[in-house]
Chain A
Amino acid sequence: MGAFISPKVDKVGIEDRVNRITKRSIKKEAKLEGLKMALNMVDLTTLEGMDTVNKVTQMCYKAQHLHDEFPGLPTVAAVCVYPNFVKIAVNALKDSPIKVASVATAFPSGHSSLDVKITDTKMAVDAGAHEVDMVISRGKFHMGDFGFVYDEIAAIKQACGTSVRLKVILETGELGNLDNVRLASDIAIAAGADFIKTSTGKIKPAATLPVTLVMLEAIKDHYYKTGIMVGMKPAGGISNSKLALQYLVMVKETLGVKWLDNHWFRFGASSLANDLLMQILKQSTGAYQSANYFSKD
């Protein structure tokens, strides 16, 4: 267990840095460009007990037709569903560049056997998912059994194979402090995560700017050690454009411009897309339109 030693994090320092990042003033062309970039990074998500085939199909249509009245808009990056809906989504999106992501590994709690988690993962992969969003075992993490957490991520990565990208959800709202966020990030990255992700969306707090900054620093240190780029996905709690732009400023000033791409950065959100659309139209036309003009699927 002593094998996992992570750099320390100072909460006050992180908050100072975040405070400075949120003071960036994004105007005019840069604002429009940022909003479009953010829209292109959204993973439209539905992860509810009451999800149905129709709900998922409707969301997939929305993903491809964000606002047809306004041509030239980017699409979202992906849709994110439970494994049993992957086939529906893949079918619905087969003519689009939009990826299908699936949560797996006994999402959201992660309490099950490794066999069940691997089966869960394979179900999503076999159904054609491009990306798998797994959860780490937070209980084992708090018990100090970091080896268990590491091995489990490595096993799921193996189950994903080489073409499916693995996002590892740390559920930072359950980790207690920023030192743990850093440690969990380092474990996930070392075990083969293609993306690290803050939250399931089922726990509050979900994504926050301080937590995301700590995770971005972990990605950066890994890049300089190995040359390997790892993606980042804050999820949950990002519902307005202003906050989304603050996240992008943080990415730009921490990891540089290479990460400003939906291959390396995503927003896990469902209501963010419409706010971005509303702001994009406002930037272009000068007037806010009623929320009733934007479809809710």
Chain B
Amino acid sequence: MNKEIKPLKFSGKWDFDPAPESVDHISLKDQYGLFINGKFENPQTSNYFPSVNPANEEHLSMIAEAGEKDINAAVSAARKAFDGPWSKMSAKERGKYIFRIARLIQEKSRELAVIETLDGGKPIRESRDVDVPIAAAHFFYYAGWTDKLNYAFPNRDPKPVGVAGQVIPWNFPLMMAAWKIAPALATGNTVVLKPAETTSLTALKLAEIIQEADLPNGVVNIITGAGATGAGIVNHQDIDKIAFTGSTGVGKIIMKAIAGSNKKSTMELGGKAANIIFEDAPLDQAVEGVINGIYFNQGHVCCAGSRLFVQESVYDVVLRKLKDRIQSLILGNPLDKNTDIGAINSKEQLGTINKYLKIGQQEGADMFQLECPIPKKGFWCPPTLFTNVSQSHVIAKEEIFGPVLAIQTFRTIDEVITKANNTPFGLSAGVWTDKGSKIFNLTSQMRAGVVWANTYNKFDPTSPFGGYKESGHGREGGLHGLTPYLNF
């Protein structure tokens, strides 16, 4: 690039006025109990912990902490419901309840989106256009399977496994609850679900929806708390299946804990996905895909495209385009409809991300960030990229779970396949090229559960999702997502 050519400027003229989504239509209680057997109950621990808005550190609500007795109550309610009405109900009737939940999510989509954004810090654009619609879509999709299981698995006589214990993360709270609950109910199981402690609110709103849908008591139980509550569910004797989405570290602990038990499991764990740009790719759209791949939801995405591989011949152009696009992103109030980058989910996670930013610089990589004012309160990290990175850098090896991209170059397709697979993770990958044969060559050799071609971070309930290697096992979504909840 000619040095005399000034970089383009994307702000300083016609900057947009704030356009915040209103919050006056939502209803949040001061305090939430545990949703057990169709009712909100006070926790037997008598403990409550606060839920805060990570964008301004303001208090939102108090959340109950479930202890051993509460977990026992939830599991026994689920067992009773499984032995009772739920397994005796016709499949068609079961489907009606799930359709009803889906419709209620749609009806309350605006409220759910605002609460998701308040509680988790993600931009309203994403909670409104991605999280909530996908959550509803999962219930709709799996509701349709309910009375067709015998056709899905001909001559195999599918039967529900029983009570499912489900532990979900804080990055897509409502959507993950839907991914877990919808297939479990469609296959005739009952559920004890625990949302992450920083983002319990939409799961509790979902509990209210489940009440409104008049689902038989105990079919879905939602109990809140931190790691100890999750461990209590995992280790409970009367649970038949564990579904976990979260970090690889916790996934390993769970697998050790349930070893030797009769529990089935699905694990959807960490990732360090390779996003690969070939020289013949549609570069502007590839850059957009890379931006969407790593900065979507502040990079709090297990399948985030956090390692970018660019063919050397287009490296300079791609880097310049990436930097320009980063400068046109808007960071700020997550409730603002124009916000692209919201708040980091928690103080703790911001600490982890900042630790990696420091490591990257100490390792000698070059850091580039969006230049923008950072709000004084709350937890924030501007979109960041590192150049001058190799496979040996910590920032290219470990999952950061933040808006941090590590860029490397490659020369040949074989080289990039080797590097892309050179990781203990294997959840997802992306490839950008105009040549179809290259896509098929690469995708067939990629050790990753999902490979996107000329797009990234596209989710659909009909499509199975899950990992290779230490990114987990089992699939969620699609026909594949039914099997972990069935015995044959």
Residues of A within 8 A of B (CB): 7-10, 12-14, 16-17, 23-31, 33-34, 37, 217, 220, 223-227, 248, 252-253, 255-258, 260
Contacts and interface: CB of A to CB of B under 8 A. Distances in A.
B19 A8 contact: no
Given A10-B454, A24-B338, A224-B320, A258 B17 contact: no
Interface centre among A13, A31, A260 (most CB of B within 10 A): A13
Contact of A30 (B15, B286, B454): B15
A12 B280 CA distance: 17
B1 interface: yes
Given A9-B282, A256-B9, A248 B14 contact: yes
A30 B434 CA distance: 39
If over half of B's interface residues share one DSSP class (helix, strand or loop), that class is named, otherwise mixed; here it is: loop
Contacts of B454: 10, 12-13
B275 to A, nearest CB: 14
B17 A27 contact: yes
B416 to A, nearest CB: 19
A41 to B, nearest CB: 12
A227 B19 CA distance: 35
B260 interface: no
B10 A23 contact: no
Given A13-B455, A30-B15, A224 B5 contact: yes
Top 6 nearest A-B pairs by Cβ distance?
Answer: A13-B285, A256-B8, A25-B19, A257-B13, A10-B282, A25-B337
Nearest to B285: A13
Interface string B437-460: 000000000000000001100000
17 contacts: A7-B282, A13-B285, A16-B285, A16-B288, A23-B337, A24-B337, A28-B17, A29-B17, A30-B15, A224-B1, A248-B14, A256-B324, A257-B9, A257-B10, A257-B12, A260-B13, A260-B14
A91 to B, nearest CB: 35
B4 interface: yes
B79 interface: no
A16 B9 CA distance: 23
A34 B14 contact: yes
B11 interface: yes
Given A10-B285, A258-B8, 4 more contacts: A9-B282, A27-B18, A224-B5, A226-B5
Interface string B19-30: 100000000000
Contacts of B4: 227
A17 B292 CA distance: 10
B14 A27 contact: no
A66 to B, nearest CB: 21
A228 B324 CA distance: 17
Interface string B279-292: 01111111011001
B241 interface: no
Interface string B296-323: 0000000000000000000000001000
B288 A17 contact: yes
Nearest to A29: B17
Interface centre among A26, A37, A255 (most CB of B within 10 A): A26
B250 to A, nearest CB: 34
A37 B15 CA distance: 13
A29 to B, nearest CB: 5
Nearest to B289: A13
B262 interface: no
Nearest to B327: A256
Nearest to A34: B14
A257 B14 CA distance: 8
A256 B338 contact: no
A13 B204 CA distance: 36
A245 B320 CA distance: 27
A23 B130 CA distance: 13
B314 to A, nearest CB: 9
A252 B16 CA distance: 11
A207 B428 CA distance: 37
B487 interface: no
Contacts of A10: 282, 285, 434, 454
B277 to A, nearest CB: 12
A52 B4 CA distance: 49
Contact of B8 (A14, A16, A28, A255): A255
A8 B434 contact: yes
Given A9-B282, A17-B288, A257-B9, A23 B14 contact: no
A249 to B, nearest CB: 9
A30 B2 contact: no
A246 to B, nearest CB: 13
A214 B30 CA distance: 50
B461 to A, nearest CB: 19
A26 to B, nearest CB: 6
B180 interface: no
Nearest to B432: A10
A279 to B, nearest CB: 15
Nearest to A7: B283
B98 to A, nearest CB: 30
Nearest to B314: A7
B10 A37 contact: no
Contacts of A252: 10, 13-14, 328
A27 to B, nearest CB: 5
Contact of A253 (B10, B282, B289, B337): B10
Contacts of B284: 7, 9, 13, 217
Nearest to A31: B17
B205 interface: no
Contacts of B434: 8, 10
A253 B11 CA distance: 9
Given A13-B288, A29-B17, A8 B10 contact: no
B281 to A, nearest CB: 7
Contacts of B14: 30, 33-34, 37, 248, 252, 257, 260
Contacts of A226: 2, 5
B8 A8 contact: no
Nearest to A23: B125
Nearest to B128: A23
Contacts of A9: 282, 284-285
Nearest to A17: B288
